[in-house]
Structure 1
Amino acid sequence: MVLAVLLVGCGLSERIEEVSGPTMGSSYSVKYVSAQSAPAPDRVKAEVEAILAEVDRQMSTYRGNSDIERFNGLPANSCQAMPAPVLELVRVGESLSQASAGAFDLTVEPLLDLWGFGPQSRSVRVPSAEQVAQVRKLVGHQHLRIDGQQLCKDLAVQLDLNSIAAGYTVDRIARRLGELGIGSYLVEVTGELKARGRKADGSPWRVAIEAPRDDRQVAQRVLQLDGYGISTSGDYRNYFEENGKRYSHTLDPHTGAPVTHRLAAVTVADPSALQADGLSTLLMVLGPERGMAFAERAGIAAFFVTREGEGFVTHGTPAFERLFAAEE
């Protein structure tokens, strides 16, 4: 996913510690207020990277020995014992899929590979209609089933948790920081964020929603966060062009092809970074009209950026504007 969020600094105090490093093909960062009882940065870094390593072993589609990839290699009518976190995310995916009539789907990896955006891709390309139709036969969340501690499939589908794994990881890290006695922090993993508390000088954690530009980073709107996760999905970084037409990495499971609507980016705020991550993907697939209607009906705090001619127009749902009303 393209998760376009910039961290905004404003005079960070000496009491703010930061640990960071590479992860999931991108990076992570944890800033926290180092109170007297807080652990040292080395301890925090070790705890955070232990979680990141666990998620990688369980959910990475880029390593052949992960739990996900072993499951993906199984034929139809197979089951495999899975770690509890994987089963949890499959349940979340099922809920989002049912709520959106299949617009959100955790089994689109073969389509991502076909279009050149997946872990097994060789190059970006526009496949034929026949190729898309053939691969679509191997896509569908309804072909997954949880049986106790096992994940089963009645078709040779391939599971891809990348649309929610980073949000889940942010929540895991945030929960662990709380267990370590850290009450004020800003966690970021591949662009997914969550913040709690205030900085040492009493000011809030502030993040900026990035404008959907592929030439430079520009803040679209600055938000103050406390107890919320933030996720942004967009089509302006991960795409290719062929014969003058732009093809986004966001695929519609119903068509098997990149979305063609005018929605450039959508940001979701939710107490759960996992939910924010999944919902931002879901709304990006639905597009500006259907996505806005879905978000308003469900009371989702979402901020839409839509292409209009040579520029962009923005619109927040009522829940989003209520949440961040005092920040204008």
Structure 2
Amino acid sequence: MSTDTLTRRVLLPLQIDDRAPPPGAVIRHLHGLSMGTSWSVRLVDSPMPGRAASADLQQGLQQQLDLVVAQMSHWEPHSDLGRFNRAPPGSWQQLPAAFAEVLGFALQVSGASGGAYDPAAGALVNAWGFGPVNRYDQPGFRAPDAATVAQLLSQQGKLEFDAAARRARQPGGLQLDLSAVAKGHGVDRLARYLESQGIEHYLAEVGGELRGAGCKPDGQPWWVMLEQVDGVDASVHPPEMMLALHGLSVATSGDYRRFFHDGTVRQAHTIDPRTGMPIANHLASVTVVHAECMAADAWSTALTVLGAEAGMALAEQQGLAARFVQRDGGAYREYLSSALLAMLDE
């Protein structure tokens, strides 16, 4: 047995669904493009060309993600979110049902995290070059100065949202950005659509965020590896973790994906809405395992902003299964919440 196998750890769901795939079932693969990335679905189907072979299923899955883009993309100027961001000051804007659902959840996470995650911080994200225009990797980009950051911070906390009426008020200049939650919501939409079509065993993925249900034809769960920090020697990184994605979702936020160097300072793409500055708390990544991918997506961002100590305290308070990987000189330290430890097969 290899050293890698010996050091690899296994996470198991606390609840098991004992429904088995039909005899002779096979795995089929569907995929496409959306949200500036790719999506894929692996599902268990009958051995004869069955539901997965239908063009209607591929089209239906694509439509789920097209709806998310049409409503919640800050890259598409004609999306419902784009129209809200350009709306006149003081105007109330009616929101589609899915948009209102996602915004409502994002605001719940914002409140619970003390503003460490804020869907109304889009102007700050844009100013730091991580939005659709004036990007950090384009010629002429300049990081915002202290006065600009202070001015943008003054807009925080001014969003009014009427969940019952599904409407929000544009105070003027406020920019919604749901990129830390919409992709997870897209994964959940794929899962719900598959289940509406009678498909019980599947693995759905959008841009690396995943949700799985049931098991493969051989009775094994959908095994996935928790994301490791890119470009790091395995000898200084915590051992790999393998997760049985059975009735669960997983999402990871990491500061190693997108960043730029501002002189001698490395500026991460995750912005702390409380300070208006990129995070600098030495966290390399946070992974959250949750029943809903939208929740895993949003919480991983909030915990990343909070840092290892405050983030772990909130994860324990919320009962979140979370893994924190923090830089410590040339090495990396790992911290696991109680809920994640309970899943660890030892």
Larger radius of gyration: 2
Q: Kindly indicate whether residue 137 of structure 2 is the aligned counterpart of residue 121 of structure 1.
A: no
1:144 and 1:190, CA in 2 relative to 1: closer, same or farther beyond 3 A? farther
Separation in 2, partners of 1:296, 1:64: 39
Instruction: Return the match for 1:75 from 84, 88, 96.
Output: 88
Instruction: Return the match for 1:190 from 207, 210, 213.
Output: 207
Partner in structure 2 of residue 314 of structure 1: 334
Partner in structure 2 of residue 3 of structure 1: none
1:145–1:153: 8 Å Cα contact kept in structure 2? no
| Unmatched segments (≥5 aa) in structure 1 | 1-12
Q: Deviations over 1:148-167 (max 9, x none)?
A: 13222334311111110011
Q: Deviations over 1:244-273 (max 9, x none)?
A: 211001111111000110111000011111
Separation in 2, partners of 1:35, 1:316: 39
Separation in 2, partners of 1:91, 1:80: 15
Q: CA deviation at 1:14?
A: 8.1
Instruction: Return the match for 1:220 from 240, 243, 246.
Output: 240
Separation in 1, partners of 2:261, 2:91: 38
Q: Kindly indicate whether residue 122 of structure 2 is the aligned counterpart of residue 106 of structure 1.
A: no
Separation in 2, partners of 1:206, 1:316: 20
Partner in structure 1 of residue 173 of structure 2: 156
Instruction: Return the match for 2:61 from 48, 71, 83.
Output: 48
Choose 41-50 or 63-72, whichever is displaced more. Answer: 41-50
Q: CA deviation at 1:120?
A: 2.3
Q: CA deviation at 1:41?
A: 5.0
Q: Kindly indicate whether residue 44 of structure 2 is the aligned counterpart of residue 62 of structure 1.
A: no
Q: Kindly indicate whether residue 187 of structure 2 is the aligned counterpart of residue 176 of structure 1.
A: no
Instruction: Return the match for 2:155 from 138, 142, 150.
Output: 138
Q: Kindly indicate whether residue 249 of structure 2 is the aligned counterpart of residue 233 of structure 1.
A: no
1:95 and 1:73, CA in 2 relative to 1: closer, same or farther beyond 3 A? same
Q: Which amino acid aligns with 1:271?
A: A
Separation in 1, partners of 2:59, 2:233: 33
Q: Kindly indicate whether residue 323 of structure 2 is the aligned counterpart of residue 303 of structure 1.
A: yes
1:296–1:318: 8 Å Cα contact kept in structure 2? yes
Q: Kindly indicate whether residue 182 of structure 2 is the aligned counterpart of residue 165 of structure 1.
A: yes
Over the aligned positions, Cα root-mean-square deviation in angstroms equals: 2.0
User: Runs of at least 4 residues of structure 1 off by over 6 A?
Assistant: 215-219
Q: How many residues are treated as equivalent by the alignment? A: 313
Q: CA deviation at 1:145?
A: 1.8
1:313 and 1:45, CA in 2 relative to 1: closer, same or farther beyond 3 A? same
Q: Kindly indicate whether residue 276 of structure 2 is the aligned counterpart of residue 253 of structure 1.
A: no
> For 1:148, what is the secondary structure of its paired residue?
coil
1:216 and 1:210, CA in 2 relative to 1: closer, same or farther beyond 3 A? farther
1:38–1:181: 8 Å Cα contact kept in structure 2? no
| Unmatched segments (≥5 aa) in structure 2 | 1-23
Partner in structure 2 of residue 4 of structure 1: none
> For 2:316, what is the secondary structure of its paired residue?
helix
Q: CA deviation at 1:213?
A: 1.9
Separation in 1, partners of 2:51, 2:167: 39
Q: Deviations over 1:266-321 (max 9, x none)?
A: 00011111111110011011011100111012211001111011121112111011
Separation in 2, partners of 1:261, 1:69: 32
1:108–1:253: 8 Å Cα contact kept in structure 2? yes
> For 1:58, what is the secondary structure of its paired residue?
helix
Choose 149-158 or 95-104, whichever is displaced more. Answer: 149-158
Separation in 1, partners of 2:303, 2:192: 27
Q: Which amino acid aligns with 2:31?
A: S
> For 1:210, what is the secondary structure of its paired residue?
coil
Separation in 2, partners of 1:79, 1:150: 6
Q: CA deviation at 1:174?
A: 0.4
1:119 and 1:296, CA in 2 relative to 1: closer, same or farther beyond 3 A? same
2:25–2:46: 8 Å Cα contact kept in structure 1? no
2:117–2:302: 8 Å Cα contact kept in structure 1? yes
Q: Kindly indicate whether residue 112 of structure 2 is the aligned counterpart of residue 96 of structure 1.
A: no
Instruction: Return the match for 2:309 from 281, 289, 295.
Output: 289
Separation in 1, partners of 2:54, 2:341: 36
Q: CA deviation at 1:144?
A: 2.5
Separation in 2, partners of 1:246, 1:57: 34
